[in-house]
Structure formats: C-alpha cells, structure tokens
C-alpha cells in the first residue's frame, strides 16, 4: 500500500510538470520543456517556473528570434505577426514579430515553379519520403488530411488557394531571417520562399545561405553556391531536388526591378 501511494505521488508530480505547458520566467513568456529540447531550439532554461518541475524540465524562454521578434504563445502576440519554426516547443509557441510591413506574396514565376515541382495531388497521398500531402505540397497533420474539412478529390482552384495560404508562413520566415540591409528583388525573394517551403523555416534560419546573405555577400553568388547543397531527403540525393534547386537558382538570378525585401509599407 505504501509503495502504491509513493508511486501515485511520483506520477502526480510528473503530471504537474506540465510538459509543453505555458510558463512565465521573470516576466518572460515561455514553455515547459526538457533542457535538451530547449537548448537545441536556441532557448534558455530557467528553473523554478514549471510546477514541481523535475531536474530536466524547466521554463524555456527565447528572447530573440527573426528580425526583432521574441518567442511568444500566439495568444500573447499583440502584433499578430507570427512565424513558425523559429521557437522550441509546441506549434502555437511562435516567433512574435513587431507590427510593421507584411512581407509580399510571391510573384507568378515563383508560383509556377512551386506548382511544377510539387505537382497537383487531388487526394491525400504520401510524398517521396512518406509524409501525407495533398494539393501543391500541403503537408497534412493527419493521414487523410481531415483537418482541411473538405471533400476529396480537391479542385486545382482549392489547391492554389491552399498553397497561397501555406506560403504565408514561409514568406514571413524568409522576411524575418534576412536582415533589412539585404535587398532582394521579387525573383530572388521568391526563389528563397520556394526553397524554405521545401526544406522548412527552421532549416532556412540556421543555414549558411542565410548567414552569408546577412554577412553582405553577393546574393547571386550565395544562391548559386548554397541552394544546390539542399538536394537530399532522408539522407538520399533525389534527382527531383537537384532539378528544383537548379530552377530556383535560375529564378534567383533572373533580373527584376521589383524589390520584395525588405518589404515596403
């Protein structure tokens, strides 16, 4: 009986640790995470702010992300301008950017490139590495994409509208990751959004490509040298990715007088 009570008490303590739950450390919003997960996401672990937190679960805060942003729960982001993939923890703990100019949507050349390489999938199906997708590269959260609330097969119009919605996340993260001193035309910006849509915001943020652009190197040189490195999925080089990266380099190096980054008000 005593052993049972001790076990139940220990279990209750684990439950009260509220892993992935909200916390506030010294006035800074955070999320209760293991110290390893927090560190790998660029956050700082602060003890004593998660209920009965065990040694390896602490309040994880990240006070710098994107361009002038901080990691916040979406309900706490006053500007409503959030970017996914830049903060550790659950999907609703995002980089909250200041109010300001919203990044522009990609141009028609970029849309055509993405649609060509993603291909139109009318009903949910696994992508080359087995993830459920539909439309033009929409990654589903369920195997049958039931979260979309539509009947399949979907129409191409529905697929284009879904792609436009999906791209906002990647337009935001490219705009947030690249400093405003770097000027990109709409083809350069679009090529990077296509790349980020394919590899993810987290990979884009930590990439040498973004670091070199922010260091002031020639954008066309950086794109030509860095984009072709991103051709593997699951550790295997895919011919389709080799072709896609080459097309993105071509788009990036296509002259245009329309400046898309930094965004204008």
- The answer on pLDDT for 14 being more than 50 is no
> How many residues are there in the chain?
265
- The confidence band for 120, taking pLDDT boundaries of 50, 70 and 90, is very high
Q: What is the per-residue pLDDT across 166-215, written as a single tens digit (0 to 9) for each?
A: 999 999 999 989 998 999 999 999 999 999 999 999 999 999 999 999 99
Rounded CA separation 38/41 (Å): 5
Q: What is the DSSP string of 119-140?
A: --EEEEEE-TTS-EEEETTEEP
Which residues belong to the active site? 118
User: What confidence score (pLDDT) does residue 45 get?
Assistant: 92
- The confidence band for 100, taking pLDDT boundaries of 50, 70 and 90, is low
User: What confidence score (pLDDT) does residue 83 get?
Assistant: 81
User: What angle, 0 to 180 degrees and rounded to 10, lies between the N-to-C axes of helices 219-226 and 186-199?
Assistant: 30
User: 210: closest CA among 73, 85, 36?
Assistant: 85
Please list, in sequence order, all residues whose beta carbon lies within 8 angstroms of the beta carbon of residue 26, skipping any fewer than 6 positions away: 46
- The confidence band for 97, taking pLDDT boundaries of 50, 70 and 90, is confident
Q: In this structure, are strands 232-233 and 236-237 parallel, antiparallel, or unpaired?
A: antiparallel
- The confidence band for 143, taking pLDDT boundaries of 50, 70 and 90, is confident
pLDDT, the chain, mean: 88
The model's pTM is: 0.66
- The answer on pLDDT for 239 being more than 60 is yes
Rounded CA separation 91/95 (Å): 11
Domains of the chain: 21-96 (no CATH), 108-261 (1.10.530.40)
Rounded CA separation 221/96 (Å): 31
User: What confidence score (pLDDT) does residue 177 get?
Assistant: 92
Beta bridge partners of 44: 61
User: What confidence score (pLDDT) does residue 135 get?
Assistant: 96
| Comparison of pLDDT for 253 and 147, the residue scoring more | 253
Across 40-68, average pLDDT: 86
Across 75-101, average pLDDT: 82
- The confidence band for 124, taking pLDDT boundaries of 50, 70 and 90, is very high
| Comparison of pLDDT for 176 and 11, the residue scoring more | 176
């Amino acid at each position: 009986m005593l052993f049972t009570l001790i076990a139940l008490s220990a279990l209750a303590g684990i439950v009260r640790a509220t892993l992935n739950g909200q916390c506030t450390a010294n006035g800074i919003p955070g999320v209760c995470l293991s110290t390893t997960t927090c560190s790998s996401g660029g956050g700082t672990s602060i003890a004593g702010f998660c209920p009965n937190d065990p040694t390896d679960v602490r309040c994880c805060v990240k006070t710098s992300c994107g361009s002038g942003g901080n990691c916040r729960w979406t309900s706490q982001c006053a500007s409503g301008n959030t970017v996914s993939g830049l903060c550790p923890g659950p999907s609703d703990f995002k980089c909250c950017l200041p109010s300001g100019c919203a990044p522009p949507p990609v141009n028609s050349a970029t849309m055509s490139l993405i649609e060509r390489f993603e291909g139109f999938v009318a009903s949910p199906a696994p992508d080359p590495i087995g993830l459920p997708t539909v439309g033009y590269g929409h990654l589903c959260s369920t195997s049958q994409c039931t979260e979309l609330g539509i009947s399949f097969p979907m129409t191409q119009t529905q697929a284009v509208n879904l792609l436009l919605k999906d791209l906002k996340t990647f337009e935001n993260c490219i705009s947030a990751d690249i400093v405003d001193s770097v000027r990109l035309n709409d083809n350069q910006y679009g090529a990077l959004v296509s790349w980020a849509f394919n590899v993810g915001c987290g990979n884009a943020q930590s990439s040498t490509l973004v670091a070199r652009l922010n260091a002031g190197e020639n954008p066309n040189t950086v794109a030509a040298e860095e984009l072709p490195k991103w051709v593997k999925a699951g550790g295997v080089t895919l011919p389709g990715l080799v072709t896609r990266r080459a097309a993105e380099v071509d788009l990036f190096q296509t002259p245009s007088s329309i400046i898309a980054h930094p965004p204008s008000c």
